[in-house]
Amino acid sequence: MSIYAVKPGWWNTPVHREEKIWIGVALVWCIAITLIMPVWHVVGDQNSSQEYYRISGDNYAALTDAFIEQYKVGEVQGIAVVAPPPGSDIFLRGAQWQWDPILKLTQGATYRLHLGSVDMVHAISIFPININFEVVPGYDYVLTITPTSAGEFRVICNEFCGIGHHGMIGKLIVDPA
């Protein structure tokens, strides 16, 4: 009975065979699901980034502004559209409650995508392919990305960042190669 004190000697009660098998199988499975994380860093195509730098919001904003000025090709809804060359460093800025600029990328090319916030904690969710990363003020988070499918994507903020949070929706364009 689990509600009464147990008499000395309980430690020496043998464990049933079935229970031992269950624990053994569970342990093997536990070790397997733990190892999948480091193993995937070697064999997998999609992993989280380990590259990040500390940066102030002002400095991140300045970097993004310079990037926009260099590669701007147009404007949609008052947000700059930027077409950087393959292989370049590209910047996405989160601010209450807008993502800018609109990035225009090329399918199959590789970029170094910088994510940063100038105010609150935000998070990007690339819709509809469901890739999600946290965007934290004070950090320049660098993801090396290669868009594998062309089309127009949405950049949804999915970390609560104030009452206007749900309106924080940006756009990402990938042109076919």
Partner 1 sequence: MTTAAALFRTCPATGLKVHLPAQGLIKINAVTAIVFLLVGGIVALTLALTRWQAVHLLNDEWFYRMLTLHGIAMLVAWIVFFEMAVLYFASAILLNTRLAVPWLAWTQYVLMFVGAAMVAVEILLGRADVMFTSYVPLQADHWYYLGIILFAVGAILGCVVFFATVNAARVEKTYEGSIPLVTFGAAIAALIAIVTLAHGAAAFIPTWLWALGLVPMMDAEIYRLLFWGFGHSTQQINVCAMVSIWYLLGTLTVGATPLNEKVSRSAFVLYGLFIMIASEHHLLVDPGLSAAHKSWNTGYFMHLAVLASMIHAYSVPAATEVALRKQGYTKGLFEWLKKAPWGNPAWSSLFISLVGFGFIGGITGVVYGTEQINIIVHNTLAIPGHFHATVVVGTTVAFMGVTYYVLPLIFQREVAFPTVARLQPYVFGLSMYVVCIGMIIAGRFGVPRRSWDMNGVDGPFQVSFDPIVDMALAVTGIAAVVAVVGGAMFCAVAVGTLLVGKKIEG
Positions in 117-156 near partner 1 (CB under 8 A): 119-121, 123, 125, 127-128, 130-134, 136-141, 154, 156
Q: What does the DSSP 8-state code read for residue 42?
A: H
Among 83, 109, 145, 169, binds partner 1 (CB under 8 A): 169
Q: Quick one: which of 70, 166, 175, 177 contacts partner 1 (CB under 8 A)?
A: 166
Element (H, E) at 25: helix 17-43
Number of residues lying near partner 1 (CB under 8 A): 76
Among 1, 58, 87, 176, binds partner 1 (CB under 8 A): 1
Give residue 93's region: left, alpha or beta (phi > 0; psi -120 to 50). Answer: beta
Least separation in angstroms between residue 152's CB and partner 1 is 9
Stretch that binds partner 1, among 6-14, 59-67, 87-95, 105-113 (CB under 8 A): 6-14
The span from the CA of 154 to the CA of 156, in Å, is 6
Among the residue ranges 61-69, 81-89, 104-112, 166-174, the one whose residues contact partner 1 (CB under 8 A): 166-174
The per-residue DSSP string of 70-89 comes to HHEEEEETTEEEE-PPTT-E
107 binds partner 1 (CB under 8 A): no
Cα distances from 154 to residues 8, 60, 80, 99, 172, in angstroms, run 64, 22, 15, 10, 6
Q: Which amino acid, one-letter code, is at 148?
A: T
Q: How far apart, in whole angstroms, are the C-alpha atoms of residue 57 and residue 74? A: 25
Q: Tokens for 31, please give them.
A: 């070790």
Q: What's the CA gap between 150 and 152, in Å, rounded?
A: 7
Nearest-approach distance from CB 168 to partner 1, in angstroms: 7
Task: Tell me which residues in 47-106 interact with partner 1 (CB under 8 A).
Answer: 47-50, 52, 76-79, 97-98
Q: Which is nearer to partner 1, 26 or 177 (CB)?
A: 26
Provide, rounded to whole angstroms, the least separation between the CB of residue 85 and partner 1.
Answer: 25
Nearer to partner 1 (CB atom), residue 4 or residue 87: 4
